[in-house]
Amino acid sequence: MSFFKVESVVKRFGGLAAVDNVSFEVEKGDIFGLIGPNGSGKTTIFNLISGFIKPDSGSINFKGRRIDGLKTHKICHLGIGRTFQVVKPLKRMTVLDNVMAAAYRRANTKNHARSIAMETVEFCGLGGRADHLSGKLTLGDRKRLEIARALATGPELLLLDETFAGFNPTEVNEAIKLVEKINSSGVTIIIVEHIMKVIMSISGTIHAINFGKTITQGTPADVAAHRGVIEAYLGEPGDAQG
């Protein structure tokens, strides 16, 4: 039984297949990279996994349980947390309150929720800004907040959606460290990125898609050398010269 498995998933919007027969498996403890150019269907896959949309066919299994078609909150309770590419801070709540709302997933008293939240906020490097309104944070901090909130729900599998987009190099390095720290605390991670450099340095396995279809899967080195991946990123060889 695999930890997490996506099998022949198809999702069409209108006539267009946004995700077309994609399958992959993720081992427990892995950092699994999902790459592809903009609009290739990565976020759609995340929305399918977290239950915002239902696949037209195919199945998604988590720890031996079929989860496609379940409600989003239910999937969270099963142990899958996610961040959003377009951050969704609970704007008029403080950073700590944002994370507390998430921590209540596994806490029943306010004190317990607060202690989980404090710990998570510190862990994600937001300790100094716990009482700031989350709507007023910088983009970098908002992305950290996304991660902190997802972590506070106590996930075994964490979906990170373009956490690095819009970061400067220093911030990228900090974020990479954070992701590795989360991973070493025992959380399996699926990370979506279209910046190749970042994902190559942290992922064990990479799955590349374009136009909703799988191109290849393998180690970072294999994927980077794959002709289809290069074409997807640079366009057709002819285009690049033209």
Minimum distance, C-beta of residue 237 to other proteins, in the bound complex (Å): 32
Instruction: Report d(CA 185, CA 179) in Å as an integer.
Output: 10
Minimum distance, C-beta of residue 99 to other proteins, in the bound complex (Å): 9
The residues that touch other proteins, with contacts defined as CB under 8 A, are 50, 52, 71-74, 76-77, 81-82, 84, 88-94, 96-97, 100-102, 104-105, 108, 110, 113, 131-133, 149-150, 153
Q: Which helix (H) or strand (E) holds 79?
A: none
Which is nearest to 158 in space by CA: 136, 183, 175, 141? 183
Query: Which lies closer to other proteins via its Cβ, residue 55 or residue 220?
Result: 55
Instruction: Report d(CA 146, CA 22) in Å as an integer.
Output: 27
Minimum distance, C-beta of residue 161 to other proteins, in the bound complex (Å): 11
Core vs surface per residue 17-43: b (16+ CB within 10 A) or e: bbbbebebbbeeebbbbbbbbeebbbb
Query: Which lies closer to other proteins via its Cβ, residue 104 or residue 211?
Result: 104
Minimum distance, C-beta of residue 146 to other proteins, in the bound complex (Å): 9
Query: Which lies closer to other proteins via its Cβ, residue 3 or residue 52?
Result: 52
Query: Which lies closer to other proteins via its Cβ, residue 10 or residue 90?
Result: 90
Instruction: Report d(CA 72, CA 86) in Å as an integer.
Output: 18
Pull the structure tokens for residue 148.
């902190």
Q: Which helix (H) or strand (E) holds 81?
A: strand 80-82
Query: Which lies closer to other proteins via its Cβ, residue 134 or residue 217?
Result: 134
Minimum distance, C-beta of residue 178 to other proteins, in the bound complex (Å): 19
